[in-house]
Structure 1
Amino acid sequence: MPDRLFVRYFPESDSLQWLMYDGEGNVKLRGEGPPETFADRTAEMNWSGSVSALLPGETVLLTSADIPTRQRRQIQQAVPYMVEDDLATEVEQCHFAIGERLPDGEISVAAIERGTLDQILERLSAAGLAPGSMKLDTLCVPFDGTTSVLIEHGRVHVKTGPASGLSLETALAGTALGLLPEDAAVSVVTCADGGDAGEVLVAQLEAETDGAAQVDVSDAEGLDLLCANYGQSELDLLQGEYEVDEVTAVDSNGWSLVWKLGVAVFALQVLLFAGEGLYLGTLADQYDADARALYARTFPKDRNVRDVRARWQSHLRGGGGEKGGFLQVFGAAVRHLPGSSLDAQNVNFNESRGDLILQLEAPRSEQLVGFSQTLGDAGLTAEIGTINQAEDQVKGSIKVRLQ
Structure 2
Amino acid sequence: MSYRLYVRPLPPFPGSDSEPAAQLYNWVLLDASGDSQAHGGGDTQDMIEQTLARNDLDGVRLIGLIPAEEALFCLADIPAKQSRFIQQALPYAVEEQIAQDIDSVHLAIGQHSDRGYRVAAIDHRQMGSWVSLFSDWHHVRLEAIYPDAALLPVTEGGWSICIEGDKVMLASDQGEWLGVQSRNLAMFAQTLAAPPSEDVVAEVPVTLFATASEFELLQADIGAIKSSSRLKVKEQTLDLMPLDLMAHAHHHHLCQPINLCQGPYSLRNEKSGLLGAWKPLIAVASVWFVIQVALEIGFGYYHEQRADQVRAQAMQIYRNAFPNDSRTHAGNVRRVVQGQLNQLQAGGTDAGFIALMKYTGSEYSKLSGADSIVLNSVNYSQNRGELVVDVRADSYSKLSALRNGLAGRGLEAQIGSVVNESSGARGRLTVSGG
Tell me, yes or no, whether TM beats 0.5.
yes
The reply to whether residue 94 of structure 1 matches residue 105 of structure 2 is yes
Structure-2 residue corresponding to 1:167: 179
Aligned to 2:243: 223
One-letter amino acid matched to 2:243 = L
Counterpart position of 1:47: 57
Matches within 5 A, 1:76-87: 76-87=87-98
Mark the CA change 1:202 to 1:44 in structure 2 (over 3 Å): closer, same or farther. Answer: same
Give me the whole-angstrom Cα distance separating, in 2, the residues matched to 1:246 and 1:25.
Answer: 27
Partners of 1:143 and 1:241 in 2: CA distance: 29
Distance (whole Å) between structure 2 residues aligned to residue 263 and residue 171 of structure 1 = 58
Paired position in structure 2 for 1:239: 262
Change (3 A) 1:236 1:81: same
Provide the residue aligned with 1:261 in structure 2: 278
Aligned to 2:292: none
CA 1:191–1:84 in 2, change beyond 3 Å: closer, same or farther? Answer: same
Matched, 1:190 2:190: no
Give the counterpart letter for 1:164 in structure 2.
E
Does 1:178 find its partner at 2:190?
yes
Find the aligned partners of 1:73 and 1:157 in 2 and give their Cα distance. 34
Distance (Å, rounded) in 1 between the aligned partners of 2:127 and 2:169: 22
Q: CA RMSD in A?
A: 3.3
**Superposition pairs of residues 93-112 of structure 1, within 5 angstroms:** 93-104=104-115, 106-112=116-122
How far the C-alpha of 1:83 sits from its partner, in A, is: 1.3
How far residue 246 of structure 1 moved from its aligned partner, in angstroms, is: 9.8
Q: Structure 1 residues 103, 94: closer, same or farther in 2, change over 3 A?
A: same
- 1:26 corresponds, among 3, 13, 35, to 35
Whole-Å separation in 1 of the counterparts to 2:55 and 2:132? 22
Shift of 1:92: 1.8
SS at structure 2 position matched to 1:88: coil
- Aligned partner of 2:133 among 115, 118, 123: 123
Picking from 21, 26, 45, the partner of 1:17 is 26
Gaps of 5+ in 2: 15-23, 195-200, 287-434
Q: Counterpart amino acid of 2:264?
A: E
How far residue 265 of structure 1 moved from its aligned partner, in angstroms, is 5.1
Pick closer, same or farther for the CA change 1:36–1:170 going to 2, 3 Å.
farther
Q: Aligned-pair distance for 1:239?
A: 1.2
In the TM superposition, residue 243 of structure 1 has moved relative to its aligned partner by: 1.6
Aligned counterpart, 2:7: 7
CA distance in 2, matches of 1:130, 1:73: 28
TM-superposed CA distance for 1:96, in Å, is 0.6
Note if contact 2:28-2:38 (Cα within 8 Å) is conserved in structure 1: yes
TM-score, normalised to structure 2's length?
Answer: 0.53
Q: State how far apart, in whole Å, the 1-side matches of 2:231 and 2:99 are.
A: 39
Are the equivalent residues in 2 in contact too, given 1:64–1:109 (CA < 8 A)? Answer: yes
Write the deviation string for residues 247-267 of structure 1: whole angstroms up to 9, x where unpaired: 78x9xxxxx9x7432367589
Q: Which amino acid is 1:5 matched to?
A: L
Question: 2:343 matched to which residue of 1?
Answer: none
Aligned 8 A contact 1:190 1:217 in 2 = yes
User: Larger deviation: 230-239 or 206-215?
Assistant: 206-215
Larger radius of gyration: 2
TM-score by length of 1: 0.56
The equivalent position to 1:208 in structure 2, one of 228, 232, 239, is 228
Number of aligned pairs?
261
Pairs within 5 Å for 1:329-368: none
Q: 1: CA distance between counterparts of 2:184 and 2:285?
A: 56
Take 1:178 and 1:191, find their aligned partners in 2: how far apart are those partners? 20
In the TM superposition, residue 207 of structure 1 has moved relative to its aligned partner by: 1.9
Q: Is the 8 A contact 2:110 2:258 kept in 1?
A: yes
Q: Distance in 2 between matches of 1:245 and 1:201?
A: 45
Alpha-carbon distance, 1:168 to partner: 2.2
Pick closer, same or farther for the CA change 1:223–1:200 going to 2, 3 Å.
farther
Asked if the contact 2:155/2:173 (under 8 Å) is kept, the reply is: no
For the 8 Å contact 1:97–1:236, the answer to whether it is kept is: yes
Match of 2:341 in 1: none
CA distance in 1, matches of 2:212, 2:284: 49
TM-superposition CA deviations, 1:283-310 (whole Å, max 9, x none): xxxxxxxxxxxxxxxxxxxxxxxxxxxx
CA distance in 2, matches of 1:132, 1:4: 9
- How far 1:118 sits from its partner (Å)? 0.8
Query: What percent of counterpart residues are identical?
Result: 21
Distance 1:114 1:174, change over 3 A: same
1:94-125 deviations in whole A, cap 9, x for unaligned? 11100111123x11111111111111111122
Contact 2:170/2:178 (<8 A) preserved: yes
In structure 1, stretches of 5+ residues that fail to align are: 251-255, 270-403
- The 8 Å contact of residues 56 and 138 in structure 1, kept in 2 or not, is answered as yes
Q: Secondary structure at the match of 2:169?
A: strand
Structure 2 residue identity aligned to 1:4: R
Q: Which amino acid aligns with 1:205?
A: I
Corresponding residue number in structure 2 for 1:141: 152
Q: CA deviation at 1:64?
A: 0.5
**Residue aligned with 2:261, SS:** coil
Alignment-mate amino acid for residue 173 of structure 1? L
SS class of match (1:135): strand
Give the aligned partner of residue 20 of structure 2.
none
Aligned partner letter, 2:102: V
- Label 1:79 to 1:211 Cα distance change in 2 as closer, same or farther (>3 A): closer
